[in-house]
Amino acid sequence: MEADLKTESGRELVRALVSKADVFLEGFRPGVTERLGFGPDVCTELNSRLIYARMTGWGQDGPLAQRAGHDITYLALTGVLHAIGPAEKPTVPLNLVGDFGGGSMFLILGIVSALYERERSGTGQVVDAAIVDGTSVLAQMMWSLRGSGQWSDSRATNLLDGSTPFYDTYECSDGKFVAVGALEPQFYAALLQGLDIAPESLPDQMDRSGWPTIRERFTEAFSSRTRDAWAALFESTDACVAPVLSPAEAALHPHLAQRGTLVEADGIVQAAPAPRFSRSMTVQPSGARPPGVDTTAVTKDWLGD
């Protein structure tokens, strides 16, 4: 539905819908909805059971609350961006870590948690979801390891940030890449077997001083075959080796295809709903309807008029 928030009739429509809603979701800067006349105080007075969910980058308070920002700036301030990438410079991890991981997923979790709590208390509440907060929670393992002296602030020096030769990517003979994640000893042994490298010819797996030698051997080995040849060789093993697929290739991979992880709707490949439930059906995407379609019918159904 559409409502012109700059008109009193539009704002009145929103307030009417709020009176019978479960969740109100807004993504303006702090104070905007209050100035428009449907802030948390107004809305919760209209509907005491309402979950009023607020999505921002910096949060509802703090020195930067009114400043503009994007995924990369939120990651930068939380220390997360500093930890991602090669030693030379931080690498932008798309906007998966901040906007979607630290932002929308924590917003959804907050809404679901508040709805669950409402079943006990009978009362709604305001959810303040800030990307800087959620991103910091995603990075809690890093903070935990750092606190116990097992994480360095220098990039590419830690176990899971690309410094180890057995948790990295390698270029193959066709210019494509494979990803290697053979952390545990049994997986590492399977990796060496697949690469046809005798364990005794390498330094110990956890000997940091020997990692350059191991990486050199791995680089040489992987460069001898194509990516798909390595993928076929390791597919039935527990070596934790996988081909680095393009989005187009991922949509055709047999595993994802069998699960229906990626589906096509209106000619567009997209992710299917997740997670999956044993009893409740998830609706497959069928294309978004333009705003305003059947507005009158929706309003009558919602408000009962």
Per the annotation, the verdict on 301 as an active-site residue is: no
- Sequential pLDDT tens for the chain (305 residues): 888 988 999 989 999 999 999 999 999 999 999 999 999 999 999 999 999 999 999 999 999 999 999 999 999 999 999 999 999 999 999 999 999 999 999 999 999 999 999 999 999 999 999 999 999 999 999 999 999 999 999 999 999 999 999 999 999 999 999 999 999 999 999 999 999 999 999 999 999 999 999 999 999 999 999 999 999 999 999 999 999 999 999 999 999 999 999 999 888 999 998 999 999 877 665 555 566 667 778 788 888 86
∠ Cα 86 87 93 (to 5°): 35
Per the annotation, the verdict on 41 as an active-site residue is: no
Residue 41 CB burial class (10 angstroms; 0-12, 13-18, ≥19): exposed
DSSP SS3 for 242: strand
What domains can be seen in the chain, in order of their start residue? 8-152 (3.40.50.10540), 167-244 (3.30.1540.10), 245-305 (no CATH)
Question: From the candidates 99, 128, 161, 168, which is the catalytic residue?
Answer: 99
The token pair that represents 25 in the structure block: 């979701």
Count how many residues are written for the chain: 305
Q: What is the pLDDT of residue 290?
A: 62
Q: d(Cα 171, Cα 188) in Å, to the nearest integer?
A: 19
Beta-strand ranges (E) seen in the chain are 23-26, 51-56, 126-130, 167-171, 177-181, 241-243, 262-265, 268-271
Q: What is the pLDDT of residue 281?
A: 79
Question: From the candidates 22, 41, 61, 70, which is the catalytic residue?
Answer: 70
Q: What is the pLDDT of residue 16?
A: 93
Q: What is the pLDDT of residue 90?
A: 97
